[in-house]
Chain A
Amino acid sequence: MELFIKKHCHLSLKSRSELPEMYRALRIDYPKFFKMDNLSKLGFLASEILFKDETVRFTPREDIALIGFNSSSSLDTDRNYQATIRDADNYFPSPSVFVYTLPNMVAGEIAIRNRFYCETFFYICENFDVGETANKIRLSFTDSVIRSVLAFWIEYTEETKEVFMIWVDKEKNKLPFSEEQLSILYNK
């Protein structure tokens, strides 16, 4: 099956403060952004960059699959949650932080925003693996319902704030999907 890369983006941030700055620069009106954890904010912003110029948005879709990968899972948020429970004399677990102690929440937030009623997957692996990413993308297309896949490698830790997102589609365009192309785009 021939597949094509419709859009892609690669963001690498230096600090947390860049998340709201980017949100404002993109002129997004979605107050729920500020309730998300950092991992979800980062993935959300990448998806907005990819989808912002689409003429048709927010129409319910079931033909797009979301696949996320990362190494540190939801560690950043896990630590924030731990801070709310580590002191027995000041023990106030935060429900709104707790709900983000799963990395696949980022896929959920993108799906909610865009009204994607679809399959979402999230894999934890040591590093960005071109072969594994390509395999999982191709596997999704074996489902006859699927016409597009939004796949992303995302890391949010103290040291690394990176997201590489690609939108793979059956519709023909200039950029054929392949491991080699994936590697070129990631290393750009």
Chain B
Amino acid sequence: MEHLILRLKEEIIEVLNLEDIKPEDIDDNAPLIGDGLGLDSIDVLELIVLLGKNYGINVKEASQGREIFQSVRVMAEYIRANRTK
């Protein structure tokens, strides 16, 4: 699980162009949307694409994102339970 969390942080930093942010700067349990990393709606869509591209997870409703992207840990748990690749 910890390995997946680290990989996920690296992927988030890359796809969202979070310059000057390192994996260790991202709290495993901090909210991704709003306060935590301060991601916006386009970032959320980009994370949905990341789930499909890297893990074969098809998120049909953007509203599901609110649950999935509560934190990196929640996101990693969701990937572990639903990944197809």
- Where the two chains meet, the residues of A that have a C-beta atom closer than 8 Å to any C-beta of B are 20, 31, 33-35, 90, 92-96, 99
Contacts and interface: CB of A to CB of B under 8 A. Distances in A.
A20 B17 CA distance: 12
Nearest to A36: B17
Given A20-B19, A31-B18, A95-B42, 17 more contacts: A31-B20, A34-B18, A34-B19, A35-B16, A35-B17, A90-B53, A92-B49, A92-B53, A93-B49, A95-B45, A95-B46, A95-B49, A96-B15, A96-B16, A96-B42, A96-B45, A99-B42
Q: How large is the interface on B (under 10, 10 to 19, 20 to 34, 35 or more residues)?
A: 10 to 19
A116 B12 CA distance: 31
B46 A96 contact: yes
6 contacts: A20-B19, A33-B19, A92-B49, A95-B49, A96-B15, A96-B16
Contacts of B52: 92
Interface of B: 15-20, 42-43, 45-46, 49, 52-53
List 6 A-B pairs, minimum CB-CB distance, nearest first.
A95-B45, A34-B19, A34-B17, A92-B53, A96-B46, A35-B17
Contacts of A94: 46, 49
A94 B52 CA distance: 12
A90 B49 CA distance: 11
Nearest to A99: B42
Contacts of A93: 49
Contact of B43 (A33, A92, A96): A96
